[in-house]
Each structure stands twice: as structure tokens, then as C-alpha cells.
Amino acid sequence: MDARTAEVRRLLDRYLVEVVEAFDLCPWARGARLAGEIAVDVVWGVPAPEQFAASARALLAAPATRVAMVVAPELAADPAELRAIRDRVAAMLPTAGVADFHPAAALDLETPARLVPFLRRSPDPMLQLVPLAILDRVRAAPAVADRPLQAQILGGAAPPPRAETADRIALANHGTVSADAGAIAARLDEIARDRARSYARLAIG
């Protein structure tokens, strides 16, 4: 792995460990990461939706992969533009649920649903994909949740999970962020500063 890719991965790991896992925003994130079920690819420049889709296909082809993350550190798309890319990728990969993550997401605690973009404030623009076959098994299962549900917890283009599971997690996250918004925002801001320093040093962007 080259130095630039390693730096992108380091920052993504900071977000996953220090934000998502530390504040228990996704109960299955740590287990999926430690089990090697999360596969990551970094795409450089200004990738077209077709490039996102090709990368995701390759990641999801691995038998161990339950969650694919395609990161675009040099993509200067705003949140709305990234959502449009997500929609096009979802159309190209109808067997996967697709969620968009963007570093420019404001905190909105008015409702659990409006909080979702803030929970997906990753260091770089990113698409996360989970096979719908996994999500279907989650919906058909009892209310006890399974690790691969994380993509739906964080929203995106995937079909909704069982309502009681989704509602319970959304309410829990809303309560967590309501209580710890300052600490979570401070951690995200520190990761963003780390990104700015390291990317300037490595001429990324």
C-alpha cells in the first residue's frame, strides 16, 4: 500500500474507531472491522459513477466482504452531488444497498432522520455498499440485529430494515448525539484537521 492510500485508510479508521465505535453509533461496527468483513478501496482523482461501481463490485466479490467502502479523497463534490452519484451507482448495482458519506454534514437534531448525515460525516467522500441478500436476511430475522445491518443504520439507498430495529437504533443514536454532540463534533473536527495537515504534506487533493 502506498503512502497516500495508507493515509486515507488511517483517517477512515480514525472515524470508524474514534467516532462510530467509541460513541456506539453502530453496535456491529467493531465486530465487522475486527472480523475482516469491511473491505475498502481508494479511488483517486474525480471518479465517475462507473468507477465507483467497478470498485464496489470488486470488493463485494470477496467472500468475506459484508461491507464495501469506496473512498474518493480528491472528489470535490458537495453532499447533493455525492447523493446523485450514489443514486447512479445504486442503479448500476441493484443487488446492493448504497449509502453516501460526506465530510460536510451539519448537525441537525430536530429528528432522528435528520441526524443521519451528521452520523455519516466521514473524513472523505465515500460510498458504502452492502449486498441486499444480507439485508434481506436481517429483515426476515427476529428483532435481534446482525452486524451487516450497519449500512441501513446509517441510511442511504438501501431498503429499510425491520421498522422496530431501525426505530430503536435511530432513537438510540439521537439520544447519544443529543447528550454528546459537543464531544462528537470535536472529535470529527480534530480528524478533519488531521486530514488537512496530512493531505497537504502528501499533496492529496
Q: What is the pLDDT of residue 162?
A: 52
Amino acid letter for position 174: H
pTM, full prediction = 0.85
Task: Name the residue type at position 90.
Answer: A
Residues 36-49: tens digit of each pLDDT: 999 999 999 999 99
User: DSSP readout, 113-179?
Assistant: HHHHHHHT--SS-EEEEEEHHHHHHHHHS-SS--GGGHHHHT-SSSPP--HHHHHHHHHHHHHHHHH
Query: Within a 10 A sphere around the Cβ of 35, how many other Cβ atoms?
Result: 12
Distance CA 131, CA 4 (A): 29
Q: What is the DSSP letter of 26?
A: S
Per-residue pLDDT tens digits for 114-144: 999 999 999 999 999 988 876 656 555 444 4
**pLDDT tens string 142-170:** 444 444 555 444 445 555 555 556 677 78
